[in-house]
Structures are given as C-alpha cells and as structure tokens.
Structure 1
C-alpha cells in the first residue's frame, strides 16, 4: 500500500510560522526598547476603571454629605443669631451670613434633585432603580431636616417680633401719657425726639425682620415642593421595585406549579397501561431467568 509522507511539508510550515513570529516580536521590541528585548507588547487594560453607577453613587453621596454639613452649620448660625444682643452691626452680618448659607443649601438641594432625576432608572435595571430610590429618600430626609430647621428659626423670629411689637406699643402708650400730662414740657424738650428716633429704628429693625421672615417662608415653600417631588419619585421607584419583586415571585410560583405538574405527569405515566406491560415483561423475564437457572443445576 502506497503512503505519502507529509512530514517535510509540516516542518516547512512550522519553520515559516516561527520566522514570522520572531519578526513580529523583534519589531515590537524595537519600538519599545526600554521595556526589554523580545517582549511581546500586550494591550493594557485599565483596571481602575469603575462602573458608572459607582461613580455617580460617590458623587451624589458627596453632595448629600456637603448639604448635611451646611445644614448643621446653619443650625449653629441660627442659635447664635437668636441669642440676645445689642450690636446691630453684628446682627446684620449674621443675617447676611444666614441668608447666604440658606441659599447655598437650597442650590445644593436643587442640584441633587436634578442629579437624582437623571439616574437612568428602569424596571429592567434593578441596580439603577434601587440607587435612585435610595438617594431620593436620603435627599428627602436632608430636605426635611433643613425645612424643619428653617421653620424652627422662623417661629423664633416671629416670637421675637411679637415681643418687640408689644414693647413698642407700651413705649408709645407711655409717650402719649407723658404728652397728655405735660404737653408744653415735652414739646419744648428733646425727649420726644429721642423717643421718636428710637421708634423709627425699631420700625426699621422690624421691617428687616419681616423681610427675613418672608424670605425664610419662601425658602420653606420651595423645600416643600422638592420634598413633594422626591416623595413622588420614591413612590414611583417603589412601584417599579414592587413590580420587579412581583414578577420574580410570580415566576417562582409558576415554576413550582410546573414542577408539580411534572410530578403529576410522572405519576400518571407510571399508572398507565404501558407501565403495567413493562412491569409484566420484567416479571416474566425474571421468572424465565429463574427457570433457566434451575434447569442448569438440575
């Protein structure tokens, strides 16, 4: 029988492939001489690359921490401002600082709200939906904390305003009584002018307090809108997650039903005519085997 040898052809192909591979390695080593000779250049993979949801998670958590710290600082400023004092210049500076801090917090909350709404949550991606629900709830809690603090400060300002108003009314009544008792003396002296100047200063102070109260009330109204939106978002995402859980539970229930049906089918198959025939054949084979064995030993 004639046989054709392919060994020589195989050796030639092997040598050609070795020379081709050596040329590629040499070209790579020449282009990057600092890394060593004869090394094959590998494609570098960025192992530090993080998933997008982790990056967004860290950014949102950082912003929420900043808002929380600013709310705490605003609480300290409110407590310091409500302390009794007589330096009006310091009071004006404190009011401006409180207003600036409240505006910064409001801007941060709105920025966080926009970021939370931009999370691509859907029923197909449970990770994004869960993250959006979590941050919406956290933002709602921070906003509630800020709103509660603003309401507390507003109530204290209104109490101080009521006290100043009552003191002002008593002061005006005492001035009217003094003018009624001795109108000539009070008209010629400077006492009434000083009192009127004090009344004007108190009125200016009250106007400023009223404006500050209006600004705080407007800020509280904006925060109420944010809380309402976040509550709606939490409810929507909760509905999405509930729908996912319902689908999973429904799939599990249907799987259990399918398993039970397979078991019933198996029991029915065992009770069928074919199963009885097979059992009879097996029994006949067993009996015939015993008969054959007995004949061999007899």
Structure 2
C-alpha cells in the first residue's frame, strides 16, 4: 500500500487555522475591538505566523517529495512487473493465461503513467523560479538534475526489460509446435495416396481454433508491448532533454561564478594599487616642503614687522 508523509502540510494548515481563530476572537471581543491590547495581540499573532511560515521549507520542496514518491512507486511497480513477466512466460493453455496478460498490460500502463506524471512535475518544477535566492535556485537545480537522472535510469531499465520480454515472447511464439500435427497429416495423406479422406476431425478442429485464438492474443500483447516501448522511448528522450537543460544551467552558473572571481581579483588589484599610491613618499615630500615654506614665510613676516 502506497503512503505519503503529509506532516508538513498538516503543520501548515494547523498554523493557518490558529491564525484565523485568533483574528476571529479579537473581532468578537465586546467593547474593545479596536483597543490597544487587541492591536498588540493581532501584531503578535501576525509575527508568529510570519515567523512560522518563514521556517517552513519552500513550496518546490513538496513537488520534489512528490517526484521522489513517484520514483519509489515506479521501482515497486517495476519489481511487480518483472514477476508478472516471469509468470506470463510460463507455458500454460488455461484461462489463467489471459488473466496474466491483462495483469501485465495493466502494470505496464500504470508504470508508463507514473513516468509521465513524474516528468510533468519535473517540468513544472523547472518553471518555478520566482522569489528564489541564487543559493536556493542552485540547490533546486541540483536536486532536479539528480532526480531527472534517476528517472532516466529507471526509464532505461524499464525499456530494456520490455524489449527482453518482447524478445522472449516472440521466441516462444516461433517455437510453438501446436501446428506440427498439420504437417504430419499432410505427409501421411501424401503417402497414403488418397486412402485417407481430406479434412480434420472434431478434436483437430478444436485444437486449431484454440491455437488460432492463442496466437491472436499473443499478437495483441506484442503490439501493446511495442507501443509501450515507443512511449518509453519518447519519455527517455524528454528526460534526456531535461538533464541537458539542467547541465546547461549549471554550466552558466559556473561561468558566472568564474566571472565573479575574476572581477573580484581585479578589484583587489585596484585596491592594492590605491593603497600603494596612498603610501607613496612623493605626496609626503610635497607636504613637507609646503610646511617648510610656510614656516619660512611666517619667519620672514615676523622679522619684517619686528624691524
């Protein structure tokens, strides 16, 4: 049975409910609805809610959890599908064979639907970048890229298992000897030179009808498997595009970081030049000469007026 942890969502709803109840109680208070204490209580409630909401993880984390849950379900369904493939390839001619075929088809459709849902969630996650800091965007992109790679690996394994199942099913179909009695009857009729009457008896006709029905069922199953492999190929290509896009984004981030480091180095170099220029002896010499000239001029003025 599949389960999902909704503790975080429950905490958000509970905090929101407490905030609504607190506001309603302040409105219903008789006589002092707009008193100073009520305003202070509202302010404290809003601050508490803002603080609690700030402590909650971003909304894209919930979508990542949803994709991880789909990945876990895909892994579980792939194991179940492998067991169904093994049971289906067992040679039987009873009613359980058709039931096994239906089970395989249902499991294949369910796994394909899970892949498509996880892919859609990844695409939605890529489009939500508003309000994120550069650090949060980097973390989100790294998580998305790792999840896309995991989905791509599972999709490749699923496609390989489907191809192997199709190959074994076709080999089983080619190796079926249900029509061997027809060739034997034909050879016997030729050797008998007309002593046997042409045609089939009732038992042979029943076997022929059962065999034709079995071949038709297998052809339909093979067509369904081929269609699922084509769908998987499309999903695999789209996941590869996601991984490439994430790699391009990370390359751009790395390039921007290199540019920032280069600009920082240039800024440090400019600061060092300014510091060296500030500590240079030439300005100090000029200041010293000016001070000496001022003292000399003052001395001359004093000597002139004293005479």
TM-score if structure 2 supplies the norm length? 0.70
Alignment of 1:42-191 (within 5 A): 42-43=44-45, 44-45=48-49, 47=52, 49-84=56-91, 86-119=92-125, 120-122=127-129, 125-164=137-176, 167-168=177-178, 170-182=180-192, 186-187=196-197
Match of 2:204 in 1: 195
CA distance in 2, matches of 1:218, 1:197: 32
- Displacement of 1:184 in angstroms is 5.3
Q: Secondary structure at the match of 1:116?
A: helix
Name the SS for the 2:211 alignment partner.
helix
Query: What is the distance in 2 between the residues matched to 1:175 and 1:264?
Result: 104
Distance in 2 of aligned mates of 1:57 and 1:112:
10
- 8 A Cα contact 1:67 1:108, kept in partner: yes
1:170 is displaced (CA, Å) by 3.8
C-alpha displacement of 1:113: 1.3
Mapped partners of 1:138, 1:121: distance in 2? 21
1:235 to 244, 253, 271: 244
**Gaps (5+ residues) in structure 2?**
1-24, 31-36, 291-307
1:8-47 matches, cutoff 5 A: 31=29, 41=41, 42-43=44-45, 44-45=48-49, 47=52
Farther off after superposition, 58-67 or 264-273: 264-273
1:94-144 deviation digits (Å, cap 9, x = unpaired): 000110111111111111111111112559633333333232222212222
Cα distance between partner residues in 2 of 1:174 and 1:208: 26
Query: Residue 239 of structure 1: SS of its match in structure 2?
Result: helix
Q: Which residue of 2 aligns with 1:209?
A: 218
Deviation at 1:31, TM superposition (A): 4.0
Which protein has the larger Cα radius of gyration, Structure 1 or Structure 2? 1
SS in 2 for 1:83: coil
Q: 1:228 to 1:279 in 2, by over 3 A?
A: farther
Q: Please give the alpha-carbon distance, in whole angstroms, between the structure 1 residues aligned to 2:143 and 2:219.
A: 41
Offset at 1:204? Answer: 2.1
- The CA distance in 2 between the partners of 1:78 and 1:200, in whole Å, is 26
Superposition deviation, residue 223 in structure 1: 0.7
CA distance in 1, matches of 2:271, 2:195: 112
Structure 1 unaligned segments of length 5 or more: list them. 1-26, 33-37, 282-298
Structure-1 residue corresponding to 2:6: none
How much has 1:201 moved relative to structure 2? 2.1
CA drift at 1:275: 4.5
- Tell me the C-alpha RMSD between the 2 structures: 3.2
For residues 276 and 174 of structure 1, the distance between their equivalents in structure 2, rounded to whole angstroms, comes to: 121
- How many angstroms does 1:241 deviate by? 1.5
The answer to whether residue 220 in structure 2 is matched with residue 220 in structure 1 is: no
**What is the deviation of 1:252?**
0.9
